[in-house]
Every structure is written in structure tokens, then in C-alpha cells.
Structure 1
Amino acid sequence: MSKKLTFLDKTFWITESEDNPKHVASLQLLKMPANASSDYVDKLLAELRSSEQASAPFNCRVSTLMGYPLKFVAVERIDMHYHVQLHTIADLNDKTALHKFVASLHEPWLDRDKPLWQFHLIKDNNSKQFALYIKIHHMCGDGSTLIRWFQAGYSQSPITQGFVPVWSMDRTQRKRDKTPWFKAVFGGLCGFVIAVKDLIWIWFRLLLKLLRINKDYMPLPFTGTKTVLTGQVKKGRAVATLDIDFDRVKTLSKRLRASANEVMLCVFDIAVHRQLTDYGQTFEKALFTNMPINLRKPGETTYGNKIAIVPVQLAHGHVDPYLRLREIIENHRKVKKAAKASHPASFSYYTLLIQAYAIMFEMLGLSNWVKPIANILVSNMPGPSEIMYFKDSQLLATYPISTITPGGGVNITMVTYNGQANIGLVCCNNNIDSLEPLAQYCLEAFDMLEKCIDDPSLNTDDIGEKMNEEDTSIADNEPFK
């Protein structure tokens, strides 16, 4: 079996370095069955390693020509001792210690001569729980693809016999009727022309914004703020996780007339400001987030990556968390409006162009000298709504831990599972000690946003901003109706 790679897939290979690997991961907490023996995890390890038959892309390595990736090709034999490993730590319930250990697993890149995935089982010798840390290269698929694959490896009830791990599952895609070549060529050409036209229009609108002729458009690239979280990405990672009741998020979003995504953007904005204040950093303008946009058609289940990532301005100057949210809503919807008005491929091309510059700066070691595209990357994906089982172990939580974009920042990814928002945080730890405070600040920021509806006296004075009197926010100029 072989599979061609799209150019976007290939960029994750071309731009990868030991300082900034391009794999994504998930930390999953599981509860053993009630009758589990003391060697349950050891037996599970042996069972997983015995499943040597794998399907694409889990049985594929990358075929290259002078270092340039061409396609996935099947390997003759899979080294299961590399792909499935077991670790023992002192106390699985010590979240800080667990996060540090997972950060050490997340730091090194995957062996490029092997299929690009690993399963790490983590146990202690006392509890009836264990953890799975799963890492897979980003070129294998985007978030929605990987969530779909790994969700298929779980069941709604315990399995004691006939368990098949995710890498051994059949992912043969349904053959589609071939489109006549002339129709495919004509349709592809028309789509390309429209996408290029829309891309030119995007850059023209950005030029008008740069010239201050029309400020009402999405942010200019590379106008982010330098912080201790941004800059040249090097070895070393900090990881943290947290949980928020997603029913609370949905209820709050209805009360505030905002989407759940916008509520969480406000929460993360407040929390990141507070973390940066701990390092003595205050700002005279808003921070920015990178927003992934899913470019797949409804029901599309192809491999690879079909996403665009564009910056969104967050909030500045408001100590009232509600006013910060309204400003973020306005800025967020400007980008969504621009995306809806353009051909999906044009946003993909736009992403490739601006990310190419960021990658160039990173490869030349110049990321500390230029402004970042954004300060954080926030993405969210829906997961299972009911309790799931890995074999006969109940899945308690699943925390996504992503890669770091060129120019640094903190990557915040959220997956909903069984009524909870499981949130994973990761960044380069060269200039900070830990992300544990940020996780706590996220919880406090959510509580503050929830309470501010009934208590207008709540504010974010401890964020540590400096407000320029001549600056006015979008919310001030364009009040909501």
C-alpha cells in the first residue's frame, strides 16, 4: 500500500526539527476493571505488542528522495517494542509529576525510519488507574481525522475477547466513482482560479488595513506581541491539563450570547495574561490567537490535513471580563466572516504563505527577532458524548497535547468527552518554569466569567495591562445591538 501526500502533509515533515517535532499526542487516563489483577497493565502490554498486523498509516513509513517526502509506503515488519512501551512512575495521581513525565515523552521526535506513532502505557504500583500517552505525526492527519481514528479504537462497553487495537483496524476507504478526467481537470482549474482570486482579495484587504483605510478586517500577520512564551522554539516542553464541565460552558455561552469557542477564548486570554503577569510582563495591545479552520466538507473522511490557521485578535483594555468577551466575539466573527466569503483553498494558501515565513525564521534561528503570528493557538474538537472503554478499561479523560507552531506560544487544545471539556496545554519551557499556574488560572478565569453576569464588580485587575488612552477597542467604536 502507498499513499501520496499533499503539500500540506509534506510541510510537517520538511519543517520538522529535533527542537520542534511535528507530532501530536493525547494523554488518556483509564480505570482498570474491578477484578483486575496486579499485573493487569503488564498483560495489556503483552497483548498490544502481539498485535503486529497494522493498517495504513500505522504500517507505513515515509519514502523520501534526498530528504524530500514522496509518499507513505508499507514496511515489512513493525517493531512493536518501539511502538508500544511501558513506564512506571511513583504516583499516577500526582498530576504535576505526571505532567513532567509526559512532557519528557512529548519532547523527542519520532523515529523517521519507522511508522510515525507510539503508544506509551504509564502505571504506578498502587492505584487501579493507568495512563496512555499516544503520539502520532501530524502529517498522518489533522485533528478531526485523528480523533475519528482513535475513537474507533474504543467501545461503548467493556471488551474481554476479540479486542482489536486502533493500528490493526481496517480503514479501507469506500471506492468512489471516478470523475471523468476532463471534468476533474476543468473543475480543479476553476477552483484554483477562484481560490487565487480570493487570495488576492485577502491580501488587498490586508493592505487596506495596513494603510489604515479599512480597519474592519482580520489581523495583519506578524503583528503579535513578544512574550516569554513566544520566540525560537527549542528542546524542552511544559505540559499541563485541566477539566471544565462542558454543560457549564454551554449554559454560560447561552447566557452570554456567545459560542462555546468564544467563551473559552476569553477564558484562555484572561488566564494567559495572568500567567504572563507572573513574569512581570504587561502589554499595551491585545494578544493574538491562531484559529484553526476545518476545510473538510461535511462527512469527508479522507486522510491527511485539510486545515487553515489564521490569527484572531483577542481583547485589551477592559478589566470587566464581560467586555473582554464582547471584544473577542467581534474580532472572532470578523475572521469567520472573511473565511465564509472566500474559497476554502484560498485560506489554505494564505496559511501556507504566512506559515512559510514563520518557518523560515525558525529554521534560520531568527524567531526571537521578529514578532510572532500569534501568542497562543486554541483549537477544540468534539469527542465521544458517552463513556468509552479501551478494551475493558474505562476511559476517564482524554487530553490532547499538540505541537508548537513556529514562533512559539502556548498550544491549547480542548476535546469534549462524556460531558467534560478535557484541555491540554503545551509550550516550550525555556523561559518559564511550568504551565501548572496557567491551568489553575483557566479555572479561575472561567469562574470569574460565570459570576460576572450577576456581579459586575468582578474584574481582571491582576492581568497586568497598560491601557493607552488614545486606544479604543472595537467594542467601544461598534457597540453591539
Structure 2
Amino acid sequence: MSKKISFLDRTFWITETEDNPKHVASLQILQKPADADSDYVQRLFKELHAHSNAKPPFNCVVRRFLGFPLKLVSVAQLDMDYHVQMHVVEDINDRQALHKFVAELHQTWLERDKPLWQYHLISDDKSKQFAIYVKVHHMYGDGATLIRWFQAGYTESVKTDEFIPVWAADRSPRSTVKVSVVKQVGLGLWDLFITLKDLVWIIFRLILKLLRINSNYMPLPFSGTKTVLTGQVKKGRVVSTLDIDFARIKALSHRVRASANEVMLCVFDIGVHRFLKDYGHTFKRALHTNMPINLRKPGETTAGNRIAIVPVKLAHGENDPYLRLRQIIENHRVVKRAARVSHPMAFSYYTILIQSYSMLFELLHLSDWVKPIANILVSNLPGPPNTLYFKDSKLLASYPISAMTPGGGVNITMVSYAGKANIGLVCCNKNIPSLEIMSQYFLEAFAMLEGCIDDPSLNIDDIGEQITEEYSSIVDEHDIEQTVEK
């Protein structure tokens, strides 16, 4: 693979702090083989520890000049005591205790003088299950890239011979057709022109929305609401996970003529509202979510990051879950239409532009004083449809645990695996002790949305919204109302 670092990849390094590390992770739950004894995980740990011959980027460190990242360079030897670690807990089946343990692992940043990844095996030496917590720096790749890499480290059947962990697997780049330098420069200049033109058009449309001349465009940046989940990100994390039958999600999406992503946005919106109401929040305007957009072309398998992150307005003013879903569908499609008519890199540069302001506020410790870009970040990634094995252990679930965005909020990531939606939540713990009740609210919100299609009496009685009296206006007053906080 190329050892160059793109500008977007560099931003994950430049803006990283010990309070807000920029790694992404996965909590994997595995089932031991039927004949496994009490030393099974310890032997697996020793076997993994012995695989010290890593392949790029897992054998690469960041070469810097005055702290600025230049490129990835290979190291001669890995410190396997650092990269592969073993932990023993009291009860691996105590999910809340496991979440707390993983949150402690997740809050510390990866050492910058070593390749930016770690494997943590977690076992209680008595259960038939064990866990693997994996974290990798975001500059190595986006979610789609990392899922593709790690999926390659698993097999669809038990495989004990020639077992190779993901960091030692060969990922040689595909051969590409060589293009002349003149053509490369010409195409590059043309792409740059189109990108800048579309970027200017995006900013111009946002200015028109700010002036209330054209409201039918994606949300203005920093439209989020201050809550106990937002503000200056500090060291310390809370983590939670949940599962939803993906067949139920798809069936519901067909019935309501929505995408699975839009269905889950409605579920998360209702659950987050209920959670925040428990902390005394009431709302006169919709919450916003940050929505990652995959900018890769079909079949593109390059490393690094090829994403844009833009805010999407959620629902407000309806107690019927179905009507809230219809609001979210339209708001989501407004952003999708804006993305469809713009050059992909224009959205990427727009992401960098608005995120830079948010990162600056965080570096200056001003995030508590400004509105966040959004209240939650929701990612939905397709995973493997079939059951996979890690050597001879069956993978039961793989929960993504992402990085925190500047300005805080809860980061929710969903990955489909073997007929289930594995959902991971992470947030800063400076104001909240746990996310377990939020996970429960998500399950209840999905059941209510599923049931309200046939039973309109299933309504959200009170999620903390304050509904103003309707009247006609040429402007959307909800865009200027402020959230009432306790």
C-alpha cells in the first residue's frame, strides 16, 4: 500500500489530544470451540503474540517534522507486549462490567512512537465466551476500509492451519493502469477546479439559507443543541452495546418506504430525546446528527479516509413515531440531494472546513461556550452476512466503538453481521455515568416504531419537546428558537 498520508488523514493526527484520541475500535464477542479447556485463550494469546511480522500499515509509524505528519514508514521490529495484551475479568458475561472495562481501554490514546494499533484479549477463564477489543488509529483508514481489512482476517469455517491474524496478512495493492504525468496533472487540475466550484456553491447555498432566502437546503453548521452529552471533550468514556435483528429493520424499512438508515435515525432520535429528558432537557427545536458520507467509487479499495461528514436535521413536533420518521426521511434526503449534485471532494473539503472550526474551539477549550455541529454522530456500515470464525472461535458479535467528535455528543455506529445489527455507543463521561439506559431506550423506540404502523395509538407521550402554537410564516421560526435547558 502507499505510505503517503492524505490531508484528511493528517487531520486525525494533528487534532488528536490525550483527552480526545482519534482511534476507532471494535468489541468482538467470540465463542470458544466445544473442546476448549480453561487455557484456550491463554494459548491463543501466545500464538497471536508470536506473529510479529506485520504488514503495512500495521508495521508503520508516522514520520514527523516539528510534529507535523509527513508519511508512514516501516519499523524493523514490533513491541508485541504492547500490541497484543491479555486481560482477565471476573465475568465476561456481565455486559455492563465489560462495557466499563472496555471504556477504560478506549479512553487512552495509542502511543505515537509505535504502529497505531492494539489487540486486547479479555477472558474470565471459566466461560465459553471471551472478547477481543481492537483499536486502530483513524488515520490508517475509515470505517469501510477497516471493516474490509478485519473481515479478511476471519473465515467462514473453522481454520486452525496457517492461521494469520489481520496485522500479518498481505494486503498488496492491486496493479493499476499507469497514466502519463501530463494526463495526471490535467485531470488533477480539472478535478480541483470542479471541487472548488462546487465548494463555493455549497457555501453560497448555506449563506442563502442563513439569510432565509432558500430554506430547502442542508442544515447550517453548528446547529446542534447544547446538552449534557456535548461540550468540551475530556478524558474518560462510557460505552454501551446492543443488538437488533436486521431482518426486522429491513422488513420495517420496506413497509414504511424508507432506508434502513432512516429507520434507525428515527429510533436513535427518539432514544436520545428520552435520555436527555431524564437529565432535565426540554426542546423547542430538532436535534441534529452528523452523518458520514462514503465518497468511494463502487469497487474502490484504497486505504486512508474517503468520507465527508455533514449535519442532518432530525424530527420535532410530532408525538407519532411514524410522522417523526417521515420528517427525518425528508431531512435526510435534502442532504443526499445536495451531495448528489456536488463533486465528492467538495463535500470532503466542506467537512474539513467546518470540522476545523470545531477542532479549534476544542484546542482552545471553548467547546462548552459554542453550539456543537450536531448532537449525535450516526454511522451505518455493511458487514459480513455470514457467520465468521477467528481461527476456531465463532464470532458472535462485533460492536464498533468510534472516536469522539469535537464538541462532544454521543457517537453511534451500526454494523450488520450475520443477520444482526451490532450497535456500539460511546460518549465522554464528564456529565453522565452510563449509556446503558440509552441502549434500552433504543430497543423500546424500535419496538414502538415497528408497532405504530398497525397501531396509531402508540405515541410518544413526552420526550421533552415543547410544541409552539402553529401559525403561518414565510420563515421557519424553529431555526431560530433556542433550547430550554435546566
TM-score range, shorter chain: over 0.9
CA distance 1:223–1:10, change in 2 (3 Å): same
Separation in structure 2 between the aligned mates of residue 468 and residue 175 of structure 1, nearest angstrom:
60
Separation in structure 2 between the aligned mates of residue 469 and residue 198 of structure 1, nearest angstrom:
39
Deviation per CA, 1:301-324, whole angstroms, max 9, x where unpaired? 111000000000000110100010
Deviation per CA, 1:234-262, whole angstroms, max 9, x where unpaired? 01100000000000000000001100000
Report deviation, 1:125.
2.6
Alignment check: 8 A CA contact 1:224 1:288 kept = yes
Report deviation, 1:159.
1.0
- Equivalent in the alignment of 2:259: 259
Deviation per CA, 1:88-112, whole angstroms, max 9, x where unpaired? 1111111110000000000000010
- Equivalent in the alignment of 2:150: 150
- Equivalent in the alignment of 2:179: 179
Task: Return the letter of the residue paired with 2:112.
Answer: R
Aligned length: 476
Describe how 1:358-397 pairs up with structure 2 within 5 A. 358-397=358-397
What SS is found at the alignment partner of 1:463? coil
CA distance 1:244–1:472, change in 2 (3 Å): farther
Describe how 1:324-339 pairs up with structure 2 within 5 A. 324-339=324-339
- Equivalent in the alignment of 2:138: 138
Matched, 1:426 2:426: yes
CA distance 1:179–1:322, change in 2 (3 Å): same
Alignment check: 8 A CA contact 1:85 1:120 kept = yes
Alignment check: 8 A CA contact 1:359 1:406 kept = yes
- Equivalent in the alignment of 2:468: 468
Report deviation, 1:453.
0.5
- Equivalent in the alignment of 2:78: 78
Separation in structure 2 between the aligned mates of residue 297 and residue 179 of structure 1, nearest angstrom:
19
Report deviation, 1:178.
1.4
Separation in structure 2 between the aligned mates of residue 125 and residue 282 of structure 1, nearest angstrom:
47
Separation in structure 2 between the aligned mates of residue 83 and residue 473 of structure 1, nearest angstrom:
60
Report deviation, 1:175.
2.1
- Equivalent in the alignment of 1:126: 126
Report deviation, 1:228.
0.5
Alignment check: 8 A CA contact 1:31 1:395 kept = yes
Report deviation, 1:433.
1.4
Task: Return the letter of the residue paired with 1:416.
Answer: S
What SS is found at the alignment partner of 1:4? coil
Task: Return the letter of the residue paired with 2:144.
Answer: S
CA distance 1:271–1:307, change in 2 (3 Å): same
Alignment check: 8 A CA contact 1:311 1:373 kept = yes
Task: Return the letter of the residue paired with 2:405.
Answer: T
Separation in structure 2 between the aligned mates of residue 462 and residue 355 of structure 1, nearest angstrom:
33
CA distance 1:334–1:467, change in 2 (3 Å): same
What SS is found at the alignment partner of 1:209? helix
Separation in structure 1 between the aligned mates of residue 23 and residue 179 of structure 2, nearest angstrom:
34
State the TM-score, normalized to the length of structure 1.
0.97
Separation in structure 2 between the aligned mates of residue 136 and residue 468 of structure 1, nearest angstrom:
46
- Equivalent in the alignment of 1:195: 195
Separation in structure 1 between the aligned mates of residue 105 and residue 40 of structure 2, nearest angstrom:
23
State the TM-score, normalized to the length of structure 2.
0.96
- Equivalent in the alignment of 1:246: 246
Separation in structure 1 between the aligned mates of residue 473 and residue 101 of structure 2, nearest angstrom:
42
Describe how 1:164-175 pairs up with structure 2 within 5 A. 164-175=164-175
Separation in structure 1 between the aligned mates of residue 91 and residue 369 of structure 2, nearest angstrom:
41
Task: Return the letter of the residue paired with 1:162.
Answer: E
Alignment check: 8 A CA contact 1:2 1:71 kept = no
Report deviation, 1:265.
0.1
Alignment check: 8 A CA contact 1:316 1:473 kept = no
Separation in structure 2 between the aligned mates of residue 469 and residue 180 of structure 1, nearest angstrom:
64
- Equivalent in the alignment of 1:102: 102
Deviation per CA, 1:315-349, whole angstroms, max 9, x where unpaired? 01101000100000000000000000000010001
CA distance 1:471–1:397, change in 2 (3 Å): farther
206-215 or 453-462, larger mean C-alpha shift:
453-462
Task: Return the letter of the residue paired with 1:184.
Answer: Q
Matched, 1:349 2:346: no
Alignment check: 8 A CA contact 2:294 2:307 kept = yes
Deviation per CA, 1:15-51, whole angstroms, max 9, x where unpaired? 0000000000000000000011110000000000111
Task: Return the letter of the residue paired with 2:89.
Answer: I
Matched, 1:305 2:305: yes
Alignment check: 8 A CA contact 2:38 2:126 kept = no
Provide the aligned C-alpha RMSD in A.
Answer: 1.4
Report deviation, 1:473.
12
Report deviation, 1:422.
0.2
What SS is found at the alignment partner of 2:462? helix
CA distance 1:339–1:37, change in 2 (3 Å): same
Describe how 1:8-47 pairs up with structure 2 within 5 A. 8-47=8-47
- Equivalent in the alignment of 2:459: 459
137-146 or 169-178, larger mean C-alpha shift:
169-178
Alignment check: 8 A CA contact 2:156 2:386 kept = yes
Alignment check: 8 A CA contact 1:92 1:124 kept = yes
Separation in structure 1 between the aligned mates of residue 399 and residue 252 of structure 2, nearest angstrom:
22
Separation in structure 2 between the aligned mates of residue 206 and residue 295 of structure 1, nearest angstrom:
21
Separation in structure 2 between the aligned mates of residue 466 and residue 41 of structure 1, nearest angstrom:
53
Separation in structure 1 between the aligned mates of residue 117 and residue 473 of structure 2, nearest angstrom:
45
Alignment check: 8 A CA contact 1:26 1:400 kept = yes
Separation in structure 1 between the aligned mates of residue 283 and residue 61 of structure 2, nearest angstrom:
45
Report deviation, 1:472.
8.4
Alignment check: 8 A CA contact 2:39 2:125 kept = no
Separation in structure 2 between the aligned mates of residue 307 and residue 457 of structure 1, nearest angstrom:
40
Alignment check: 8 A CA contact 1:327 1:473 kept = no
Report deviation, 1:462.
2.9
Separation in structure 2 between the aligned mates of residue 302 and residue 54 of structure 1, nearest angstrom:
19
What SS is found at the alignment partner of 1:110? coil
Task: Return the letter of the residue paired with 1:221.
Answer: P
- Equivalent in the alignment of 1:283: 283
Alignment check: 8 A CA contact 1:106 1:237 kept = yes
Deviation per CA, 1:346-402, whole angstroms, max 9, x where unpaired? 000100000000000000000000001000000011111011000000000000000
Matched, 1:445 2:445: yes
Separation in structure 2 between the aligned mates of residue 233 and residue 404 of structure 1, nearest angstrom:
8
CA distance 1:162–1:367, change in 2 (3 Å): same
Percent of matched pairs sharing the same residue: 69
Alignment check: 8 A CA contact 1:287 1:374 kept = yes
Report deviation, 1:223.
1.5
Alignment check: 8 A CA contact 1:2 1:74 kept = no
CA distance 1:176–1:51, change in 2 (3 Å): same
